[in-house]
Structure formats: C-alpha cells, structure tokens
Structure 1
Amino acid sequence: MKQDTISQDRRALLQAAAAAGVGGLFASTSATALQASPPTPSGSGAPRHDAVLFPPAPLAQQPYQLLPVGAIKPTGWLRRQLEIQAAGLGGRLDETWPDVGPDSGWLGGKGESWERGPYFIDGLLPLAWQLEDPGLKAKAQRFIDWTLEHPWDNGMFGPRQNDDWWPRMVMLKVLTQYHELTGDARVIPFMTRYFHHQLQAMPARPLRDWGRMRWADEIISVVWLYTRTQDPKLLELAALLKQQGYDWQARFADFPFKEKVDAKGLQAGVGDAVFMQDRGQEVHGVNHAQGIKASPMWYLVSKQEADRKAIHHQLAMLDRYHGMPNGMYAADEHLAGLSPSQGVELCAVVEVMYSLELALAVTGDAPLGDRLERIAFNALPATFTDDMWGHQYDQQPNQVECSLHRKPWTTNGPEANLYGLEPNFGCCTANFHQGWPKLTASLWMASRDEGLAAMVYAPCRIATQVRGTPVEIEQSTDYPFRQSVRITVRPQQALEFPIHLRIPAWSRATVLRVNGQAQKATAGFTQLMRRWSPGDVIELEFDAQVRVERGHHDAVTYTRGALVYSLPVGEAWVPWRKRGLTTDWMVYPTTRWNYGIVDAPASVQEHPVGPVPFAGKHPAVTLQVQGRPVPAWKAEEGAADPVPQKPEPAKDEPAVALTLIPYGAAKLRITAFPRVPAAT
C-alpha cells in the first residue's frame, strides 16, 4: 500500500512538472542523500538536526553543502567584528527602531508587518548563536515563537495585515536556520503545512512584484525541507515557483541594460508605482542581487548544465556594464553604469554575498569564492561606521562627501549616502544584519566526497562530524590583512577523509604544507586526501602581489590579495539629527582628494590588526604610491565627477607620496584614479 501511494505521488509530481513546462525534470530516482556524516535517527525516525544533509534524488548532486548553522564559530578579528555588530545596531536595533520593536506585526503588534521583522531575525539569529549570547537569542526567540504559535487556519502564517508571499520567503529562511540550531520539532510540520497551502493557493494568487523577482529565495527553503522529508509536493511547488517567477537567465541571455538607467523614464509611473512595474523591477539592484542565485538554485531541480553555469554570464554582464572596483555593480536603487561615483545599495551587498555563498556550494566554482571575498572584505565594511551604529543606503567607490544632495543617484533621494539609522529607506536597516553572520556560516562546507572544504578564509573554529566521527578544526589567520593561514585538524581519532582548500586565482605561487611537508597547490580547489591525526597542521601562504586594475575611463585601482585599496580623504563628521540611540551623520572632506596616479612601484607596510578590524585611523595594512594633483577634477553637489580620461596634472606641483588603506576602512575615499605622467 505504501509503495502504491508513493507511485501515485510520483505520477502526480511528473504531471505537475509537465504542466509547469519542466517535463522530464524529475526522471532520476537515484538513491538517498549524500551526507558528510550520516544522520543518527531520533525517536521519530527523523535525521539529527545537526547532520550535514545533501539534497537527495531526484535533485542534483551538488559538490559542497553548508554546514548546519552553528557549526562554525568566529575567532580573532572576525569575532571582534561580530561583537561590534552585536553591540551596535545589529544587536540593539529593536531598542531604537519601532519597525522591529515590541509593536512589530511579527510579534503580534500593529506595527510594520511586511519584510523588516524577518530581515532583522535572518541576521540576528545566526549572530546570537555564533556569539553564544543569551540576550540576543532571547530577542530572536520571541519572533520565532510568535510565528510558530500563530499559524492561520489554512496553513498561512505571519501577520494578518498582509498575505504577500515575499516576506514569508525571508521568514522561511529564518526557520530553517533555527531548526538546524535547535532541532525544534515544530518547524518541519509548520513549513510542510504552509508549502502545501501555497501549492494550492498560488494558481489563483500568483507571485507578484518582489516575490516574483525573488522566487529563488523560496527554492532554498523548499529544497531544505525536501532534503528532510522527501515530500513530492515540494517539487511540485518548486516547479510552480519557477513557472510564475521572473526568468533571470533569459533576461541576461540578451542583457539590455547597458547604461545608467534613465530616471525620468522610470518615473513615468504614478508615485512609487514604478517599482511595481516590470521595468522598475528588472533594473532594481537588490532584485539582481537575489536573482544571481536563481539559476544555480534551479539547477538543483533541473540538473541542466546551462542552469549551473548561468551565474558566470550574469556576473560578466553586470561587470561589463555596471561593474565597480569593490566587486559589486552600480545600483543606487537601479542599475547605474560604470562611473565609480555611482553607488550601490547595502541590501544588494549582503544579498549578493548570500547568493554567492549558495552558488559556491551548488556549483563548486572557485571564482565565486574569490568574488565573495572581495565583496565581503571591501564593500561590506565600507558602508558602516566603525561602531556599526550607522550605515549608508548607498556607498560609492569614489566617495568624497556624504551630504544632502540629489546627484549622482538614479532614483534615490538626497539622504542616500549619509551614515545613520535608516538613510533613504529602511530596508537596509533591517537587512544588513545577515552579512557578517552568514559569511561566518559559509567559511567551511561539507564536500560530497565525505570531507570538508575551506571556502573563505577568516579566523574560526569548526565542530562537525565527518564519516561518523567528531572533527574539530581551528583556522588561525589575520587574512585578508595577512596572507598566512594555519589550519589545525583535530578528529576525535585518526580518520581518513579529504580536505579541499580554495586557492584564490590571484595567488600564483601559493605555498602549501602539511605538518611541514610541501604539497602542490593549484588555483581552484586543491584536495588533500590523507589519514588525519589529532593535531595535524595545514599551512597556507598566499602570494598576494600589488596589482593595478583598469576600469572606466582607463581609471586605475590598486588591489593586493582580497583587498582593494583607496586614498582616504580627511573626514569632518557633522551630526544632522538624533535618532533614538543613534545619530544620522553627514561627512565632509577636509583634505584634497583629486589626485592622479603616477606609474611607479607601490610599497606595502603591515601594521597590527586592531580591535576594530577595518578602522581607518589604524589600518592593518597600507600601500604607498605616487600621485599628482589634478585641479580640473572637481565635485558637483558633493559627488566626484567621473574620472577624467586625459587629465592635466598641476604643472607647478611635483609628485607626492599617497598612502592607500583598505577600501572598507576609508569612509571618504578615492578608489579609481586617473593616470598621469610623472613630473618632467
């Protein structure tokens, strides 16, 4: 009888898939989930919540899988960064911002009831457990308990003030993390009931606006639950989400957005209605950030190689027409072209990071890790005050003033690059919290060959199981400020398994040793297969050379390893208005910024990594270069003009030494410079 039921469900699934235009996707019936450590059964027969589970057939076999949330704890400079976040807006936002305060709709109140509560908890939850902070755990628990204890009769959940699918996509990600941390038995039946309701309701109430553009964010949770229950209805739902969702792969196949968006054309609608129209949604920067994950996530269902590879073309198009030196693309609300004076929204930064973290696991393509590090170690810290009590909506690579001006934004208002509580719009205030915690949760992953993989380098400790044996790993490093990494492997007992090490493409002569013995390292992933004994040590020395990259108008940017470097501009911080526990700030330049770069060797100086890792006053590493003033390069309404292509340096001023610091440490900065000849 049970087998008959499974067969009937199988036929129904195939029929639904065909109706969704994806016939034949689920033909494989290969065996159970691959696991880095086989789950031990609980009393209910369910897998252990802390086991590493790879998606089972008929889903694609991905090469890597994130470890359960909580398996990785930050140490060193990374822990200090997370502690700064917890002591600032990241841990205390609910105390000063009503949108996630006691009256939040996600706590049963009458306040904001859409995306901001879920956004806040999506980052607060992993932060609380990574720091083992009881106060932060209690804050997150209130939102989770209210959500789980107040389902609607039909299976829907969340505030009754709206029935939008989109904010629930975010809360589902929260629930998957929460289950991995606690094993709370309420989560799986709760999610199952909701997904069954959604499958029935979506034909009459399809995805719209934000949910339509961001449908891949729900695929994450659908796959997560399918991995644990093998409920065939979930694959029907995945097919329906794809059918109703925006086709990101098709859009990038013939990418039409090759210039800065015409704001006047976008604003042809009435008021904010433009954001709900297709054109406004198609060029929205955060939609692109979340759309980057659509093809790799759908590959898990389709198993089509074109879906697995599509992310690389998407990134290449964004780089070609909107690329910025910090690894992002210009999108100050909407796609904004190539000038480094354009900005990018903080929400886009953390969402691109999350998309890359998932895509790195699904595809196993090492260049995605290179880009993830570039964004995480540059664009992410750049957009916060050192104490993380203030953030920007938009950051600019060439950012010479943060004040109330309307230029050079596409559709944003004059507060866009101020540092404060909620400049321009509050989505980033709620959403930025996921950046550092989710990066921490992605530093190491399980590999499909029952091993472990170092994906991003930062100081941390890992506790997991490999082939049924407890294994601890300690990764000691000041990377990206330094280039050495020491990895100590401590299995409970001697154990043979592979360790994969991501070797950045920029490191051309990486030195790799195991217990002092040299090993061969190649760009991409290097696999070390051996019998590991407690206390074995892996040592990495990356070859980080100073490199000069060319950009828009032949501008030059300096990089070394994962870090981008900028000329810091003197800062005068002027309070604009008090906002509860924090303040909104304008920042004005106090030093000259309009320099061109002379073609001459750069020198590197290393300094201690201080208590604030990305502090501008005490940078951990600096570059010395040569520059000459370019008087004709000016600013208009607080924004640097585009980099001049053939600048005339000041004839009566010789070249001077310029000290560049990590991009993330400079709050006013020049990152892309014109090239000038040396003085004659």
Structure 2
Amino acid sequence: MLTKTPYSFFETTAIRPTGWLRRQLEIQAAGLTSRLAEFWPDIRDSAWIGGKADGWERVPYWLDGLIPLAWLLDDEKLQATAKRYIDGILAAQEEDGWICPCEDRGRYDVWAYLLILKVLVVYHRATGDDRIEEAVRRALKCLDWHADGNTLFGWAQTRWYEGLVATLWLYERTGEDWLLQLAAKLRCSGFDWKEFFGKNWPYETVTAKTHWGQFNHVVNNAMMLKGQALYGRISGDPSDAAFGEHAYNTLMRYHGMVTGIFSGDECLDGDSPFQGTELCAVAELMYSFEHLFAASGDAKWGDRLESVAFNAFPATFTPDMNAHQYDQQVNQPWCRFNPKPNFGTNGPEASLFGVEPNYGCCTANMHQGWPKFAESLFMRGEDGIAVLAYAPATLETEVEGVPVQVALDTAYPFRDSIRITVSCPQPVRLRLRLRIPGWCEAPDFGMEGRAEDGFFCIDRTFTGETAWTVTFPMEAKLADRPRQAKALTRGPLVYSLYIKERMEKQHKEGEPWWMENCELYNDSEWRYAFDLADPASLRFEEHEIGQQPFSAEGAGVSVEVPCRPVAWETDGLVPADLPGAPTGEQVILRFIPYGCTLLRMTEMPNLAEK
C-alpha cells in the first residue's frame, strides 16, 4: 500500500494564471517553447515522430513544459502541437509496450523511457485523454520485464526515481501490486543517493577542474532531492521522507547561492558567486521542491520554491525567452566567450545567450519551470486547499460538490499585498491554508484564523463572494555570504547591481543561425562594494510592471543603494573572488531584482561594516 501525501496537484485546467504570471507564460509561448518545433532538428525532426534526429531525452524534456503551458493558456496552437507529438509517440508504441525509439534495447539507457512516461502523466493531467492510462500500463509492464535482464546504467541509474512518477500514478488508479514491485526494482537497481549523502559524502570540497561525474552532476543532485520522498510512500520509512531536507541543506552548506540554488557548472563547484549553475538544474530544483511539499506539507519548501522561481530561474533568459544561458552566475559582470573559463567542466560558451549554448539539454529542458510553478500555486489537501506560493492566478474547483473559485490578485513578489477572493454560489465549509513566508516577521492575514505548521489556516463557511487583503511586510536585509560578502534581499527577492549590457552576436561560418550565440559586454562599471550602514534606511521605489516582467525596463521595483568603487582584479575574464581596497568616494547605484538582470553584481563586501 501507498502512504497518502498531505497534498496533491490539481488538474492543469483548474488553474488560470492572471496578471504578470499570465504575461510571463505568454512570453514563453511566443519564445523558444513554440519556435523549437519549427527549426531545431532535435524537436522538428525527432525520431520520436518518425524523423532521423535525436530520439532520446530532448522531445520528452520539451513536452514536459510545452504541455502544461498550452493548457494553462488554453492556447489552441500549442495544444495542437502537443497532441501531434503525443499521437505520434502513442502510435509508435510497440506491441509489447516498449515506447522509446531505439534499435538495441539491451544497450539503451532507459532514462528517456522513464522521462516519457512522466510526460504522458503530465499530458493526462492536462487533458484527461483516456488513451494514456493503457499506454502507460503497457509501457511499465514492458519495463518491468526489461528490468529483470537489464539493470539500470548511465543516466537512468542516477535518475531512477523519475520512473516513480508514472508508477505511483498508475498504482493509485489500478492498485496492481506488480507496480510496487517494479518500483522496488528501480530503487534497488538505481544509485543509492540516501547512503551516498551519509558521513562519507565526498563533495564538501570542490573536485579538480574538468573532473566530470554523475554523482556531483548538478542536475542529478537537483532531481534526486525528491526521489526518496516519492519512494517513501512505498517504504513508509521516515528517513526516506526526511532525506530531501538533509540533502538540500548539505548541498547549500558547501555549494549554496543566495538565490536558493547550488552551484554546478556542470558539477558541484563551491560557493563562489563567480561559479555557474546550469539552467536544467534550476528548472529541476523547482520541480523537486513542488513534489517535496506535496509529500511533506512542510511550508519551507514553498519559501525555497519562490526564491528559485523569482530569482535564479528568470535570470538565465533574455526577457523575451528567445535565448538562454547554459550557466548563470550570481556575480556576472559580463558574458563573454572565454577560452579559459572558471567553470568546472563547461566550455567557453556556457555563459553566452543563445538557442543552444554549450550543449542542447537546457534548450529542451528549460520549458517546465514557469508552467509547473503555476500548476503548484494551489495544492489539494485532504480537508481543504493550500496556497503554496503566491502569484496572480485563480483556482476553479469543487468542495463538497459546490463550485468554488479562489483568486489571488497580486503583483507579489514586486509588492507585499495579495487580494484574495473566494467565490461560491451557495454556502460551503472551506479550510484554506495560506503559507506564512519564513522571512516575514509580522504577516497580516486580514481574516480570522490561526497559525498552524507554517500556514495560516482559515476554517469557515463561505457564501457568495468574500474578499480580503493579506499583507507580508518586506524588510531589506544584508544576507551573510561566504568570504565576508553580503547580498541585499527583501522578501523573496534578491537585489543586484544593474549593469548596462551591450549584446554582440557571434558569427559561426558554416553553422545554422541558431548556433550563433550572443556575448554581453558591460557598458557600465561593475567593481563596487556596498557602503550601507543600515539596510532599513533604503527606500524601495515601486514601478508599473512592464510587458516583460523580468527585465531591467519592466522591473516592478528598484532601490538606490550607497556603494563605493573598489579595485577588483581579474585573471583574463575571470574576476577574483574578493576585491581590493576602495578606489573612490561613495556613489548611489540602482539595484533591481536579480531575476530582472542579465549582467549583475550581487554578492559584495560591505565597507560600512567593520
């Protein structure tokens, strides 16, 4: 039997994004998410739909974000694209249930097999397509047989838990015991992350440059955080449920960034703000946080989700989401082709913006972040509804057979208030849990209720339309960072020095246009330190949120911060971790949300502190 989780996900179509979140999803829909099918061979000509190009992880990665995006926006064109690919995948499923295009099953890394099954579950959640259950059942039955003679290897070995998403989904629908037995096979054939993160975990220090490995691979580490929580539903072992917290704290202790992500360029690379983090890891970490909350009900996963979603995730794209980086840096004064990068294993183009900089996995996997975040704002509990994260959206569901609508009208995280409206045509008892942000010292929920395990619980009968305002006062703080550096935070947002950028496209003779990446040159000074005696003295200025919410021009808030210029040495295009002495008098500089920047300085010493 499976243990029940405190929370589960609503159907995709139950949630309607509004405000800046809808606009952000529309930007994504007009950007690479829709365009890849027009020109990128690994999507357009994929073996998944009968072509000759990549038939492994890239189409499943892409569909994993395209599908929820299409149904959140009710975008008929995107829906038709998703259906065309799903129809092709289902039509090509072999008689025995095998579902991946390959010529030699024995040598096939079934990571893509596990991934496409998760995608089919995502498609069912969005559409309710009645073909999916039987297709997943046949595919898992084939995998069960395959696993007896072919132990997991390669990426599937370190990502075995991704197969649990479809396995547990089908078990909840059918109750067939062989599915739990298959889950045990995956667990025992896969890499034991829980044992690995014991007392002999080897990555407290950074491994040698160019030393690539599966076990310190940043994406694997972002993914695996949810693995034991998923398996814990089968094992019932409390240590499985607790593992995600332990592993995340360990990663952040030695490799953490102020944005809530850990470094990895492409493997774990310490806590210097000049190291990078791969985009795939950012998207996958958000997904892990969403599952970890559903499994535990622990409110702090919501804090962590917001930190990554509002800071690290948008910062790695151009504002129109037509280009992205492979690696982002917390301190990023330029994005230049660097023949001697300071990245652990990534190449000279990893920080450039383009369609496929460095390697194409992020091109395929970047699409799930915003849609799955929107899907996870509201969670279904056994006795009510929880708001895990705050952004403008409306939930439409039923409670005891009565249609209920819960609307969040807000410019959060750029503002501190949320207008909540509950609408229902007849009286209904509703238990609504609102997450209490861990950073907020004096929240005002504007309604009678009580604090309960990190949530404010409102338990009452609603009828007609009931509206009230929740306020989360935000205080500016200088967060302590390694090497006596500081970072400016306020509420869920990290603030960075805005550096003006100049974009120059690389020309690659004989290559298609989409292989031409863009370098960013700084057109304003970056070598500064804070000179801030009291963060409470800062005055944040609110602006209208622009058509591109995560852009320097569209930023909904900014602040003027006293700083001083400092000497900051570089080794070629690699800045030193620490600056030298001040070189001038105090100046007042503009800081904007980290996620609105392309170039930035975020972690710097504070000269006003002794």
How high is the TM-score relative to the length of structure 1?
Answer: 0.86
> In 1, Cα distance between the equivalents of 2:450 and 2:3?
31
Match of 1:231 in 2: 176
1:642 counterpart = 2:567: no
Aligned to 1:662: 593
Question: Are the equivalent residues in 2 in contact too, given 1:399–1:640 (CA < 8 A)?
Answer: no
Asked if residue 204 in structure 1 is aligned to residue 149 in structure 2, the reply is yes
Q: 1:548: how far off?
A: 1.0
Aligned to 1:4: none
The letter of the residue matching 2:250 is M
User: In the alignment, what sits opposite 2:190?
Assistant: 245
Residue 423 (structure 1) aligns with? 357
Q: Which residue, out of 86, 90, 113, partners 2:33?
A: 90
Aligned-pair distance for 1:407?
1.7
On the 8 A contact 2:273/2:329 being kept in 1, the answer is yes
Q: Is it true that 1:442 corresponds to 2:442 in the alignment?
A: no
Distance (Å, rounded) in 2 between the aligned partners of 1:616 and 1:432: 21
**Kept after mapping to 2: 8 A contact 1:444/1:453:** yes
The 5-angstrom pairing of residues 311-322 of structure 1 reads 311-322=244-255
Query: What does residue 190 of structure 1 align with?
Result: 135
How many angstroms does 1:560 deviate by? Answer: 0.5
CA contact (8 A) 1:118 1:170 kept: yes
Equivalent residues in 2 for 1:357-436, closer than 5 Å: 357-405=290-338, 406-436=340-370
Separation of aligned partners in 1, 2:449 and 2:543 = 30
Measured in 1, the distance between the counterparts of 2:513 and 2:174 equals 46
Quick one: distance in 2 between partners of 1:678 and 1:219?
50
- Aligned twin of 1:127: 69
Runs of 4+ deviating beyond 6 Å: none
1:323 is the counterpart of 2:253 = no
Change (3 A) 1:470 1:580: farther
Q: 1:559 aligns with which of 489, 507, 510?
A: 489
Question: Equivalent residues in 2 for 1:256-335 (5 A)?
Answer: 256-264=202-210, 266=211, 280-335=213-268
Match of 2:566 in 1: 630
Query: Contact (CA 8 Å) 1:511, 1:542: kept in 2 or not?
Result: yes
Q: Supply the RMSD in Å over aligned alpha carbons.
A: 1.6
CA displacement, residues 201-241 of structure 1 (integer Å, 9 cap, x when unaligned): 21211111111111111111111111111111110011111
SS at match of 1:513: coil
Matched with 1:499 is 432
CA contact (8 A) 1:353 1:372 kept: yes
Residues of 1 paired with 2:514 and 2:481: CA distance? Answer: 40
Contact (CA 8 Å) 1:549, 1:559: kept in 2 or not? yes
Q: Tell me what 2:505 maps to.
A: 575
DSSP 3-state at the match of 1:591: coil
1:307-343 superposed Cα distances (whole Å, 9 cap, x missing partner): 1111111111111100011110010110000100000
8 Å CA contact 1:600–1:626 kept in 2: the answer is no
Q: CA deviation at 1:640?
A: 2.4
AA in 1 matched with 2:316 = T
Cα deviation digits, residues 257-303 of structure 1 (max 9, x gap): 01222125x2xxxxxxx6xxxxx100100000111111211111112
2:455 — aligned with what?
A: 525
Are residues 1:609 and 2:555 paired? no
Mapped pair 1:76 → 2:19 = yes
Aligned-residue offset at 1:142:
1.2
Aligned to 2:477: 547
Provide the residue aligned with 2:6 in structure 1.
63
Counterpart residue identity of residue 139, structure 2: Y
Measure the CA separation in 1 of the matches of 2:571 and 2:267. Answer: 21
Task: Tell me the amino acid that sits aligned with residue 363 of structure 2.
Answer: T
**Residue 455 (1) aligns with residue 382 (2):** no
SS of residue in 1 equivalent to 2:144: helix
Q: How many Å apart are 1:158 and its aligned residue? A: 2.2
1:472 aligns with 2:405: yes
CA shift, 1:674, in A, is 1.4
1:43-69 CA distance string (max 9 Å, x none): xxxxxxxxxxxxxxx211211111122
Cα contact 1:563–1:663 (8 A) shared by 2: yes
Corresponding residue for 1:140?
A: 82
Output aligned runs, 1:91-110, within 5 Å. 91-101=34-44, 103-110=45-52
* Whole-angstrom distance in 1 between the partners of 2:364 and 2:177: 34
Deviation, 1:161, is: 4.2
From the superposition, tell whether residues 100 and 522 of structure 1 become closer, same or farther in structure 2 (CA, over 3 Å).
same
Matched, 1:175 2:140: no
Deviations 1:130-152 (A, max 9, x none): 11111111111111001111211
1:124–1:70 distance in 2 versus 1, CA, 3 Å:
same
- The one-letter code of the counterpart of 2:55 is S
Tell which deviates more after alignment, 75-84 or 152-161: 152-161
2:284 match: secondary structure = helix
Q: Which moved more, 1:590-599 or 1:367-376?
A: 590-599
Shift of 1:509: 0.4
Q: Deviations over 1:583-621 (max 9, x none)?
A: 521001111111111132322111111111111124211
* Partner SS state of residue 596, structure 1: strand
Alignment-derived partner of residue 218 in structure 1: 163
Aligned residues: 599
The Cα offsets for residues 153-192 of structure 1, whole Å up to 9 and x where unpaired, read as 2211121346431112121121112222222221111111
The 3 A distance-change label for structure 1 pair 583 and 469 is farther
Rounded to whole Å, the distance in 2 between the matches of 1:68 and 1:192 is: 21
CA contact (8 A) 2:298 2:453 kept: no
Q: 1:489 to 1:671 in 2, by over 3 A?
A: same
Cα distance in 1 for partners of 2:397, 2:520 equals: 45
> Equivalent residue for 2:603?
672
CA contact (8 A) 1:457 1:479 kept: yes
Q: CA deviation at 1:434?
A: 0.4
After superposition, residues 18-33 of structure 1 pair within 5 angstroms as none
Does the 8 Å CA contact 2:532/2:608 hold for their aligned counterparts? Answer: yes
Query: SS at 2:478's partner residue?
Result: strand
The 1:436/1:161 distance shift into structure 2, 3 A limit, reads farther
Q: Over alpha carbons, which structure has the higher Rg?
A: 1
Shift of 1:582: 8.7
Query: 3-state SS of the aligned residue for 1:282?
Result: coil
Counterpart code for 1:298: Y
Question: Separation in 2 of the partners of 1:230 and 1:110?
Answer: 39
Contact 2:356–2:514 under 8 Å retained in 1: no
1:596/1:675 contact within 8 Å kept: yes
Evaluate the alpha carbon distance shift between residue 522 and residue 483 of structure 1 in structure 2; reply closer, same or farther with a 3 A threshold. Answer: farther
Q: For the residues of structure 2 that align with 1:298 and 1:189, how far apart are their CA atoms?
A: 23
Measured after TM superposition, the shift of residue 678 of structure 1 is 8.0
Residue number among 503, 528, 535 corresponding to 2:465 in the alignment: 535
Residues 600, 625 of structure 1: 8 Å contact kept: no
Secondary structure of the residue that 1:246 maps to in structure 2?
coil
So what's the TM-score if we normalise by structure 2? Answer: 0.95
**Structure 2 residue ranges without an equivalent (≥5):** none
Q: Percent identity?
A: 42
